[in-house]
């Protein structure tokens, strides 16, 4: 708890990618102070080893626009006409910063799809359910990728931080019940994980491993085994690679709670470790392997959007939020808190806006 208090206030300056940083200093007092701070703390464990995989083998196949499917996808989320632009809003780790005004603004903006990359609140299920009920009011089709705070309890999180399998298993009580309660509270919003969703005639979304906590170990392994039949990081990678193979078209957009490994091992890398002196890569190895597999199969991963590793980093400064590599746009959406007050006391609300059109993915940071 003392450590958690010590890193309170991970507010962040914000910027548009097309303009310099530091337009406005985050001094949010709008969101519960415990949620983001404890969330940041509970990101928390360094992998015992964080192997970096070899260089990506894929080339950068030119994206094409083809009418490869018709109607709605497996989950009936979104269907647009061939050639029509698809607009997606992505909200990073909420940590309780989401309210009825967000619902009103997002629905009014006319997005085709809204994506939440997890960590709806903090340690209390009641808070998570309250946020889920607000999300349920969205009229726009919505996908939610559960984070490490969504269903696991505080003792499970502590067990993961301490690498204590005994505590992880001892604390693993009714995790399914909490996950089911969150899914029910989300109403029409879809709680996704290890899944494929057709969102446009020429684009599918692949949702990565749910409840990821980063690092080399599989988070909440007993729960993942019961819920998804996945018992190890290698099995999780195989599960994601199988989804890549099931994708029916050439273009994939990947969303996950935590991003892939292989994008840097510095504290300010897009998914780098900022809570240990030795720094390191805290991305997910299974997701990196899935991306490599997509490359081998000639699939074009147009973008990877995730959160978990908050943009403002310990010790000061911010991490990278955008990386382009081999034709893939990697985005970290976890600006925490995502609602803050500007110098005039006006609430500022953050999300990412993606636009898929003519075989091209574009992204920008939006502040309302």
308 near Fe ion, rule: CB under 5 A: yes
Closer Cβ to Fe ion, 147 or 303, answer by number: 147
147 near Fe ion, rule: CB under 5 A: yes
60 φ/ψ angles, rounded to the nearest 5 degrees: -125, 80
The token duo for 349 is 């609300």
- Measured from the CB of residue 281, what is the shortest distance to Fe ion in angstroms? 16
Cis geometry, peptide bond prior to residue 113 (ω within 30 degrees of 0): no
**What is the 3-class SS of 256-322, one letter each residue?**
EEECECCCCCCCCCCCECCCCCCCCECCEHHHHHHHHHHHHCCCEEEEEEEECCCCECCCCCECCCE
- Measured from the CB of residue 149, what is the shortest distance to Fe ion in angstroms? 6
148 near Fe ion, rule: CB under 5 A: yes
Q: Do 288 and 325 meet the contact criterion of CB atoms below 8 Å apart?
A: no
Closer Cβ to Fe ion, 73 or 146, answer by number: 146
- Measured from the CB of residue 263, what is the shortest distance to Fe ion in angstroms? 17
DSSP state at residue 345:
S
DSSP state at residue 337:
S
**Which range in 139-147, 175-183, 275-283, 285-293 contacts Fe ion by CB under 5 A?**
139-147
Figure out which of the listed residues 102, 112, 119, 274 binds Fe ion, where binding follows CB under 5 A: 119
- Measured from the CB of residue 145, what is the shortest distance to Fe ion in angstroms? 10
Closer Cβ to Fe ion, 132 or 294, answer by number: 132
160 near Fe ion, rule: CB under 5 A: no
- Measured from the CB of residue 147, what is the shortest distance to Fe ion in angstroms? 4
Q: What is d(CA 222, CA 172) in angstroms, rounded to the nearest whole number?
A: 8
Query: With b meaning 16 or more CB within 10 Å and e meaning fewer, what string describes 160-180?
Result: bbeeeeebbeebbeebeebbe
Closer Cβ to Fe ion, 42 or 50, answer by number: 42
The closest of 163, 152, 92 to 123, measured between CA atoms, is 152
**Which range in 114-122, 175-183, 202-210, 284-292 contacts Fe ion by CB under 5 A?**
114-122
Closer Cβ to Fe ion, 153 or 251, answer by number: 153
Closer Cβ to Fe ion, 26 or 258, answer by number: 258
Site of interaction with Fe ion (CB under 5 A):
119, 147-148, 308
């Amino acid at each position: 708890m003392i450590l958690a208090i010590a890193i309170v206030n991970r507010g962040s300056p914000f910027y548009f990618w097309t303009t310099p940083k530091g337009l406005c200093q985050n001094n949010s007092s709008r969101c519960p102070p415990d949620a983001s701070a404890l969330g940041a703390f509970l990101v928390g464990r360094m992998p015992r080893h964080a192997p970096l995989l070899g260089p990506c083998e894929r080339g950068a196949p030119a994206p094409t626009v083809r009418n490869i499917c018709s109607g709605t996808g497996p989950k009936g989320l979104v269907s647009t006409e061939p050639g029509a632009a698809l607009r997606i809003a992505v909200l990073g780790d909420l940590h309780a910063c989401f309210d009825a005004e967000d619902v009103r603004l997002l629905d009014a903006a006319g997005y085709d799809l809204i994506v939440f990359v997890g960590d709806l609140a903090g340690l209390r299920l009641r808070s998570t359910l309250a946020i889920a009920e607000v999300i349920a009011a969205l009229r726009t089709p919505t996908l939610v990728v559960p984070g490490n705070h969504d269903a696991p309890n505080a003792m499970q999180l502590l067990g993961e931080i301490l690498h204590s399998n005994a505590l992880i298993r001892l604390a693993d009580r009714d995790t399914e019940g909490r996950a089911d309660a969150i899914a029910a509270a989300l109403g029409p919003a879809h709680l996704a994980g290890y899944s494929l969703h057709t969102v446009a005639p020429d684009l599918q979304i692949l949702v990565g491993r749910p409840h990821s906590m980063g690092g080399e170990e599989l988070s909440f392994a007993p729960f993942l085994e019961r819920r998804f039949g996945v018992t190890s990081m290698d099995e999780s990678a195989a599960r994601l690679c199988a989804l890549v193979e099931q994708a029916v078209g050439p273009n994939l957009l990947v969303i996950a709670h935590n991003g892939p490994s292989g994008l840097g091992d510095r504290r300010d890398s897009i998914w780098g470790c900022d809570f240990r002196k030795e720094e390191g890569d805290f991305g997910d190895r299974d997701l990196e392997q899935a991306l490599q597999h997509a490359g081998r199969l000639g699939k074009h991963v147009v973008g990877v959007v995730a959160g978990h590793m908050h943009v403002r980093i310990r010790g000061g400064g911010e991490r990278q939020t955008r990386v382009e590599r081999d034709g893939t746009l990697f985005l970290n959406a976890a600006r925490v808190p995502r609602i803050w007050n500007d110098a005039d006391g006006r609430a500022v609300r953050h999300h990412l806006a993606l636009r898929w059109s003519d075989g091209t993915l574009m992204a920008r940071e939006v502040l309302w």
